[in-house]
A and B are shown apart, each in its own frame.
Chain A
Amino acid sequence: MNTEPTVVTMPSQSDDSGTATGSFLADSATSIVSPLSEPLVDVQGLGKRYGDFQALADCRLQVQRGEVFGLLGPNGAGKTTLMRCLLGFLQPTSGRATIGGYDCWSQRTQAHGLLSYMPAQPQLPRLLRARDVLRFFADIRPSRISVDAGSGSAGQSSAGQSSTGQSSAGQSSAGQRYERACQLADRLQLDLSRWVALMSTGMRQKLAIAATLCADVPLVFLDEPTANLDPDVRSQLLQELAGLRAAGATVVFSSHVLSEIEQVCDRVAVLAKGRLVGLTDMRQLQRGSVISGVWTAEQPPAIAAENASGWQWLEAGRFKWLTPQPLEEVLPELLRGGVCDLRVQTMGLLDVYHQHLAYHGPASDEGSGA
C-alpha cells in the first residue's frame, strides 16, 4: 500500500460541464494533505435522475479515513439522495461512487460490510422487543468479513484499502456487539424490555442509534441523527461521535443543525438543488473572518474581483466578504481603498452556508435539468 502523503484537491463546486472549479472561498484552499493514499468514500461525477427531474448532478467528493464529514443543504438539496446512492439503495444514472474500493451499487453488499447507517427517521421491526432488535443487528454481521469478498475492482484499485477497511470491520463477535449495544442503550436510558411498537419516536431513535453504533465498522452514515432527541441525549450522541472519531472511524453526517455540524465535522459539503455547491474545511473556517463595511471610493476594489466567490455586494456600497486570509494582510488594503463602517466578525458556518447558496443559486437552477 502506498503510504506516501498525497495532496488531494477537493473541488468545492462544479461548473456545468462537470469540471471542478476553484473553491467558493477561492482563497480558502481546499487542498488538504491526506495521511492515506486513497479516500474511504470516493464519489466521481455521481448523478441521479428521476425522469425529467435531476435529483443529484455531477457530484464529486472524497471522504478521507478518520474524518467527520458533514452534508448540509436545504430540504430537497440532494443530501439523502447522495447518501442513498452511497448506500446502494439507488442506482446512479451517471458517475460512480466507491466505499473502500467497492462500487456502491454493484458491490454494495461488500461495501455494507464496511459501514453502518442510521436513516433520518429510523423504523425498526415493531413486533419485536428492543433487546431482540439489538440482538438482530448484532447477529446480522459476520464476525469476520472475507478479504476476498470484493470483486475485481476492489482488488485492483485498492486492495490495501479494502483489507485495511476489513481489518477494522466486523472483528468483534456478535456477542461483543450485542454487549456494546446494550451498554450504549443503557447510557441512553433505554428500556430494552419494551416492545418497539410501544416506544415513542425519540426512544426508537435511541434504539436505532444503539443498533447503528454497535457495529465496529470504519464508516458510519448518520442522516439527521439528532432529530427527535432531547438535548441531553443529543449531547450524548455528539460525545459518542467524538468517541468514534477518536477511535479512527469515518463519519458522514447530515444535519440541519449548524451548531452540531460545527461541533463535530472536519469538513462540510453544501448541496443545493442536487449539486455540490461548496466544500468547507472547518479548520480553515475557524481561522476565517467576515468583514463588512461601506465602500466609499468610486471604483470597486481589485480585491473584490480577485475574491469574487467570497465577496458579496449589498445595498448602497455595503459589502460582505468572507475570507480565510489573515486580517493583517487584508485590512490595510481595504482601509487604503476607502472603507468606512468596517466590522470584523469570526466566520461561522451559517455565513459560509448562505454564501454558498447565494453564489451558486443561478448555476444550480440551470443545472437542475428540470
Chain B
Amino acid sequence: MIGPLLRRVWLETRWLLAGCCLLMCFFFWLRVWLVSRLDSGRFQQILELLPSNIRSMVKVDFSFVVTHTGRLSIGFEEPMVLLVLSIWCISRGSDVVSGELSRGTMEMMLAQPVSRRRAFLVPVLYALAGVTLLALASQIGTWLGIATIIANEAYYPSFRIPLLGLSFPIPFAKPVETQIPMWQLVDWRAFWPGSVNLFCLGVTLLGVATIFSAYDRFRWRAIGGVTITLILLSVLKVVAMSHPALGFLGWLTFFSAFEPALFISQTSSLPGATWGWYFYGPGEVLVWTHWVYNAILLAIGLGLLWQALRVFERRDLPAPL
C-alpha cells in the first residue's frame, strides 16, 4: 500500500522537486562561475573594505575565505540556497496534514484501509528524500562547475632573491592574467560537510513545517506560522552574532548549528575534524566538529516529526470548510 501513496505524492510534486533540484544545482554551478571570474587578490581587497563589526560576524578565518574553496563554501549560506531549501521543506511539510485537510483530499484517502501512520510517513519520507536530493544537487552543481569552468587568475609580477628564497611584488607592474581550470584550484570533495549540514538543516525545517501542519487545519496558517518562526529564529542568530554579550541567544535558535563554511574550513585544514566528534583548536580549546551540530539539527528535526506523527494519530479530522 506504500506504492500507491508514493506514486500519488510523486505525481503531485514531481515538477516542484525537479525545479528545486535544478535551481539548487544551477546556483552552485553559478557560484563556481562567479568565483572563477574574481581572482583571489581582488576578493581580498573587497574583504578588507568590510566594516569591522561585519567582519566579526564571520566565524570562518579570513585566510580561508579568500581561497577559492573558502569562497565556494560561503555559497552554502547564500539566501538563494536557503530559499530553495525552505520552499521545498515548507511546501511539503505543510502539506502533510493541514494541506490535505484544507483541500479535503484527506477524507477519501483516510477512509481507505491506510493507517494514519502510513499516510503520514510516506509523504514525510518522500520529503526527506527530496531534501537528500537537494543536498546532492548542491554537490553535483559544485562538481559540475569545478569540472567545466576555467578561472581567470591575475598574478602580480615579482622578483625573487635567489639565495634567500624571498619574493617581492614589483610595484606598479601590470598583473598577468592567466587561465586555470577550476579543478586545479579546488578539490570538489572538500564540500561534502556543507552538503551534509544543508541536509540536516533541511530535516529540521521539514520538522518545523510538519509540526505546524499537524496541529492546524488550514495550510495557509501553517505556512504563516512556520515562516514567522523561521524569520524570528534567523533574526535571533544575527543578533547573537552581532555582539559577544548577546551570544547566549545563539542557544535559542537551531540556525546556530548551520555553519557549512566553518565546517568545510575545519575539515579542509584539520584532518581530526573530519570524522571525530571534537578536536582541540588553538590554545587547546575543545571544539565540537560538524557531526555534533548535524546531530543536533537531526535530533530537533526528527523529534518534531515524531511529535507531529503523534499529534496526527490522535487528533480529530474536521470536515473541510
A124 to B105, CA, bound (A): 5
Asked whether B112 lies within 8 Å of A127 as measured between CB atoms, the reply is no
Closest-CB distance, A184 to chain B (whole angstroms): 15
Q: B111 interface residue, CB < 8 Å from A?
A: yes
Choice from B5, B8, B110 contacting A89 with Cβ under 8 Å: B110
* Interface hub of B5, B105, B108 (most chain A Cβ within 10 A): B108
Task: Give a binary string over B281-321; 1 marks a CB under 8 Å from any A CB, 0 the rest.
Answer: 00000000000000000000000000000000010111110
Asked whether B107 lies within 8 Å of A119 as measured between CB atoms, the reply is yes
Tell me the B residues contacting A by CB distance below 8 Å. Answer: 1, 3-5, 7-8, 11-12, 103-105, 107-115, 314, 316-320
Asked whether A112 lies within 8 Å of B113 as measured between CB atoms, the reply is yes
Stretch at the interface among A36-44, A136-144, A270-278, A323-331: A136-144
- A211 partner residues in chain B, CB cutoff 8 A: 108
Identity of the chain B residue whose Cβ is nearest the Cβ of A221 in the assembled complex: B111
Identity of the chain A residue whose Cβ is nearest the Cβ of B7 in the assembled complex: A136
Q: A87 interface residue, CB < 8 Å from B?
A: yes
- A137 partner residues in chain B, CB cutoff 8 A: 108, 112
Closest-CB distance, A225 to chain B (whole angstroms): 13
A116 to B109, CA, bound (A): 10
Apart from the given pairs A88-B110, A109-B114, A139-B1, 20 other A-B contacts in the complex at a CB distance below 8 Å: A84-B317, A112-B110, A112-B114, A117-B107, A117-B111, A119-B108, A119-B319, A122-B108, A125-B11, A125-B12, A125-B105, A127-B11, A132-B11, A137-B108, A139-B3, A139-B4, A139-B7, A140-B1, A141-B1, A208-B108
Identity of the chain B residue whose Cβ is nearest the Cβ of A119 in the assembled complex: B107
Pick 16 A–B contacts, CB within 8 A, sort by A.
Answer: A90-B316, A90-B318, A91-B314, A109-B113, A109-B115, A112-B113, A113-B113, A121-B104, A125-B105, A135-B4, A139-B4, A139-B7, A140-B4, A140-B5, A142-B1, A212-B108
Task: Give a binary string over A105-136; 1 marks a CB under 8 Å from any B CB, 0 the rest.
Answer: 00001101101111101111111100010011
A82 to B130, CA, bound (A): 39
Asked whether A89 lies within 8 Å of B317 as measured between CB atoms, the reply is yes
- A125 partner residues in chain B, CB cutoff 8 A: 8, 11-12, 105
A139 to B104, CA, bound (A): 20
- B314 partner residues in chain A, CB cutoff 8 A: 91
- A127 partner residues in chain B, CB cutoff 8 A: 11-12
Identity of the chain B residue whose Cβ is nearest the Cβ of A113 in the assembled complex: B113
- B103 partner residues in chain A, CB cutoff 8 A: 123, 126
Interface residues of A in 189-225 (CB under 8 A from B): 208, 211-212, 221
Closest-CB distance, B190 to chain A (whole angstroms): 40
Asked whether A110 lies within 8 Å of B113 as measured between CB atoms, the reply is yes
Identity of the chain B residue whose Cβ is nearest the Cβ of A116 in the assembled complex: B111
Asked whether A123 lies within 8 Å of B107 as measured between CB atoms, the reply is yes
Identity of the chain B residue whose Cβ is nearest the Cβ of A111 in the assembled complex: B113
Asked whether A141 lies within 8 Å of B113 as measured between CB atoms, the reply is yes
A6 to B103, CA, bound (A): 45
- A136 partner residues in chain B, CB cutoff 8 A: 4, 7-8
A244 to B4, CA, bound (A): 26
Known contacts A80-B319, A121-B104, A125-B105: does B8 contact A141 (CB below 8 Å)? no
Identity of the chain B residue whose Cβ is nearest the Cβ of A211 in the assembled complex: B108
Task: Give a binary string over A166-193; 1 marks a CB under 8 Å from any B CB, 0 the rest.
Answer: 0000100000000000000000000000
- A117 partner residues in chain B, CB cutoff 8 A: 107-108, 111
Interface residues of A in 95-112 (CB under 8 A from B): 109-110, 112
Identity of the chain B residue whose Cβ is nearest the Cβ of A85 in the assembled complex: B316
Closest-CB distance, A47 to chain B (whole angstroms): 14
Q: A145 interface residue, CB < 8 Å from B?
A: yes
Asked whether B12 lies within 8 Å of A141 as measured between CB atoms, the reply is no
Asked whether A142 lies within 8 Å of B113 as measured between CB atoms, the reply is yes
* Interface hub of A113, A127, A128 (most chain B Cβ within 10 A): A127
- B107 partner residues in chain A, CB cutoff 8 A: 89, 117, 119, 122-123
